[in-house]
Amino acid sequence: MTKDTFKNLKDENKTYKNLYDGYWKESKSGKYTEIFSPIDNSLIGKIQSMNKDEVDKAIMNSKEAQVLWQEIPVNRRSDILNRAADILYEKAEELAEILTMEIAKDRKSSISEIQRSADYIRFTADAAKNLEGETIPGDSFPGTKRNKISVVTRVPLGVVLAISPFNYPVNLSASKIAPALMAGNSVVLKPPTQGAISALYLAEVFNMAGLPKGVLNTITGRGSEIGDYSVTHKEVDFINFTGSTEVGQHISRITTMKPLLLELGGKDAAIVLEDADLDITVDNIVSGAYSYSGQRCTAVKRVLVMQSVADMLVEKLKDKISKLKSGDPREEAVIITPLINKASADFVMGLMEDADKKGAKLLVGGKRDGNLVYPTLYDNVTLDMRLAWEEPFGPILPIIRIKSIDEAINIANESDYGLQSSVFTKDIDKAFYIANKLEVGTVQINNKPERGPDHFPFLGVKSSGMGIQGIRYSIEAMSRPKAVVFNLNNVE
Ligand code: NAP
Ligand code: G3P
């Protein structure tokens, strides 16, 4: 593959087009959004602001394409996805550069996002081949004879609208597209505006891998302009959304009888008991809270530590956090990079102001330089502070000191969010006691919260989401059982 493998998706002025019916097309709207890099404000390119008629055409085209796609044998769908995974691997360095510029993700994490997406696609291609239906004999139910048998298979839902967020524009697009396609659906991808360019490259990877025309179409434009129209479109059969709780709840309010998978915000707690191995705990809390500058739904967003070990934990955290390298994500070993935009940095600074006013103790950071917010640690955070409850999506961590396990459980569960929690302890009985009581999708024992490995179920409860991701779970979410009941005449 040559260097200009991706020449089709943009013109010489770096204006990116949309994938429609197998070709990269310009919008007739004549409107564009300029995408600037959060690193240095340089112009990366322009994306098209599609109008509603064009969104409609894309959805209708996907609907037609799905009819043929569902007839293609699973092993051939799987071949196409495996080719897409190969291309992603081969192009990982080139795509990572684009991702780094577009969302200011450090280089190592950008490469890892691309490779993880390739692994995800490959695993999905294999997993779908191993999914089986079932036959259910009728006579196990009272009053039914042996002459009835139900043959249950899984069938696609139709057109899946995939909406991804800025923080993983490639991975959280791929992890919707791949299982949707393997289940026999077509996909309309609405990428985040900041992150759209990286996601459009991913779409071209699927296109190059030989996906039939129209099975994957892309729609770009601000969510505030085309979002409501897309999610309420009558030919969209399923919405697979990852993003903020605010937008997720809005989608849930305005749609009627549309199946939804919503992966939303979080306020994951790390609960630290007296007997925790503090070195393991600190490593996990720091990488959990600060990687990609805290812009992960599963970031550690509060520490609930037993008073008796709090001073020791705080000293170790201070030491490690002070050594985190901040700056340009293209430079070696940089972890803390500029936040996605000014509004995000302003929001984090607002949380600090509130915490300062209410008497929290600033231990590290507390400063910004443009959109770069330095890694920040607060001790003695109390429950009247916004930092105790709100999702910062930035590199800031509150420490809340607790006196008992039940106090930790209560504070953890008082949150509106319920994505994940971590418990750090060597006592398996206490770990199970706490895990059983926490109102979250996943509890991690002696590890930071995290989505992977990607075949594990991943879900949020309460305001953190609805439905389940994870390779097999995602395929099942985007398909439904279909039963054919055989009624045999010559069997009693
Ligand atoms: P966001 O502002 O909610 O945007 C997410 C996506 O929704 C973007 O593609 C956005 O498009 C689109 N959108 C906006 N308004 C819409 C509407 N009315 N209808 C349909 N789509 C609409 O979230 P974000 O800032 O990109 O991501 C950060 C948030 O996502 C955080 O809260 C984080 O916790 C959450 N998140 C959750 C998970 C999880 O798995 N639980 C994973 C990653 C992120 P535009 O960009 O054009 O506005
Ligand atoms: O915020 C993105 C979410 O999907 C978390 O993924 O791998 O960072 O835990 P991960």
* pLDDT computed for residue 3 by the predictor: 58
* pLDDT computed for residue 489 by the predictor: 85
User: The pTM is what?
Assistant: 0.97
Distance CA 84, CA 118 (A): 8
User: How open is the CA angle 16-20-26, to the nearest 5 degrees?
Assistant: 40
One domain for residues 41 and 188: yes
93-116 per-residue burial string, b: 16 or more CB within 10 A, e: under 16: eebbebbbbbbbbbbbbbbebbbb
CATH code, domain with 135: 3.40.605.10
Q: Which bound ligand lies closest to the C-alpha atom of 265? A: 1
Given a contact cutoff of 8 angstroms between Cβ atoms, the answer to whether 161 and 231 are in contact is yes
One domain for residues 240 and 313: no
Number of structural domains the chain divides into: 2
One domain for residues 73 and 124: yes
Pocket lining for ligand 2, CB < 6 angstroms? 167-168, 296-298, 450-452
One domain for residues 252 and 291: no
* pLDDT computed for residue 131 by the predictor: 87
Nearest to 62 by CA among 218, 192, 170, 198: 218
One domain for residues 43 and 181: yes
One domain for residues 212 and 99: yes
Has residue 368 been placed in a domain? yes
What's the one-letter identity of residue 410? N
Pocket lining for ligand 1, CB < 6 angstroms? 163-167, 172, 190, 192-193, 222-224, 227-228, 231, 242-244, 247, 250-251, 263-266, 297, 391, 393, 419, 460, 465
One domain for residues 419 and 289: yes
Residue 417, domain extent: 269-454
* pLDDT computed for residue 4 by the predictor: 74
- Would you state the structure tokens that stand for residue 202, as one six-digit string? 């991913």
The stretch 186-198 carries a mean pLDDT of: 98
Q: Give the mutation target among 50, 59, 175, 247 for probing the ligand 1 site: most ligand atoms within 8 A of CB.
A: 247
Q: Is the pLDDT assigned to residue 1 strictly greater than 90?
A: no
Q: Give the mutation target among 108, 263, 296 for probing the ligand 2 site: most ligand atoms within 8 A of CB.
A: 296
Considering only CA atoms, which residue is closest to atom 39 of ligand 1?
A: 263
User: How open is the CA angle 389-392-394, to the nearest 5 degrees?
Assistant: 150
* pLDDT computed for residue 221 by the predictor: 97
Read off the pLDDT of residues 234-268 as tens digits, 9 standing for 90 and up.
999 999 999 999 999 999 999 999 999 999 999 99
* pLDDT computed for residue 491 by the predictor: 76
Task: Please tell me what DSSP assigns to residue 226.
Answer: I
- Would you state the structure tokens that stand for residue 465, as one six-digit string? 């989401």
User: Which run of H or of E encompasses 137?
Assistant: strand 134-137
Q: Going by C-beta distance under 8 Å and a sequence separation of 6 or more, which residues neighbour residue 108?
A: none
Active site residues: 263
The stretch 383-389 carries a mean pLDDT of: 98
One domain for residues 214 and 121: yes
Nearest to 335 by CA among 378, 304, 365, 380: 365
CATH code, domain with 343: 3.40.309.10
SS3 category, 257: coil
One domain for residues 362 and 303: yes
For residue 452, which atom of ligand 2 is closest to its CA?
A: 7
Burial of 484 (0-12, 13-18, 19+ CB in 10 A): exposed
